[in-house]
Amino acid sequence: MSRKVKFSSNWRKAKAKVTKCHSDIVNARKDYLHKTTTTIARAHALVCMEDLQVRNMSKSARGTLEQKGTNVAAKSGLNKAILDQGWFEFRRQLGYKLTWRGGLLVVVDPKYTSRTCPAGLHESKDNRMSQAKFECVDCGYVNNADIVGTLSVLARGQRVLACGEDVRRTKVVKPRRAISAKQEPAEVTKQGEIHAQRRRNPLRLRRGGCQFMVNKPNI
């Protein structure tokens, strides 16, 4: 688009191609998130996840005029990758889909989840020998750091539900409405009402022809 004359015919064609490309990316992301969250909600009644502050994690590292930022290009790439994954949308979809099926979503504090030993609950920065390797300095437990973080998040969520452990920023996502009140788009709800009325009065809502009920004579 930068090589085209703005608002020209070729510029509009190039703009349409770029818009179509971004639309396909958005649709692919939504499709993946819906399929993944639906699979998780159908298979599990309890899901525990970290309360990640996406807005803070994706802040710019440019700094100010007085104090310049560091690693601005690397942080910019990380921010784009975080926002491209749709973490908050994943959490939102998983929350209401679990609510529909009577499940529960527990959000726990992400602090030190990958540095806490799931076997002895020993927390230390020395447990993380590298980005991927975890080895507890207290009991010698060895595993992948991502798996350790997953086990720690699940354990925190279970402790909150079992004994009400006071974990900072921990909360249970509660439904705004009753579990049976499944929220549907307006078009779907309207179609459901039409089908229900059509089953009760099959002659009234039939397309074409007579639109009123025929009163049967009393015999």
- Answer yes or no: are the C-beta atoms of 31 and 86 closer than 8 Å: no
The whole-number pLDDT of residue 70 equals 74
Per-residue pLDDT averaged across 177-190, rounded? 44
The pLDDT value recorded for residue 60 is: 77
Which of 18-27, 57-66, 110-119, 165-174 is the least confident region?
A: 165-174
CA dist., res. 136 & res. 142, Å (int): 7
Is pLDDT larger for residue 65 or for residue 15?
A: 15
Strand partners of residue 49: 107
133-135 and 142-144 beta bridge pairing = antiparallel
Of 96, 105, 79, which Cα lies nearest the Cα of 182? 96
pLDDT at 198 over 90: no
Q: What percent of the chain has pLDDT over 70?
A: 72
Round to whole Å and give the CA distance between 72 and 79.
10
Q: Average pLDDT for residues 160-186, to the nearest whole number?
A: 53
Helix (H, G, I), strand (E, B) or coil at 141: coil
What pLDDT was estimated at residue 116?
A: 92
Full strand arrangement of the beta sheet holding 171-173? 46-50, 104-108, 171-173
**Both tokens assigned to 65:** 């005029």
| Tens digits of residue pLDDT in 101-159 | 999 999 998 888 989 999 988 999 899 888 889 999 999 999 999 999 999 999 999 98
Considering Cα of 32, then 33, then 38, then 39, what sign does the dihedral take? positive
Average pLDDT over residues 59-79: 75
CA distances from 110 to 40, 92, 93 (A): 20, 18, 20
Q: 132: how many CB neighbours lie within 10 A of its CB?
A: 10
The answer, yes or no, to whether residue 75 has pLDDT greater than 50, is yes
Q: Residue 54: helix, strand or coil by DSSP? A: helix
Q: Which two tokens stand for residue 82?
A: 């975080």
HEC string of 112-136? CCCCECCCCCCECHHHECCCCEEEC
Q: Residue 78 and residue 137: Cα distance in Å, rounded?
A: 31
- In the chain, domain spans: 184-219
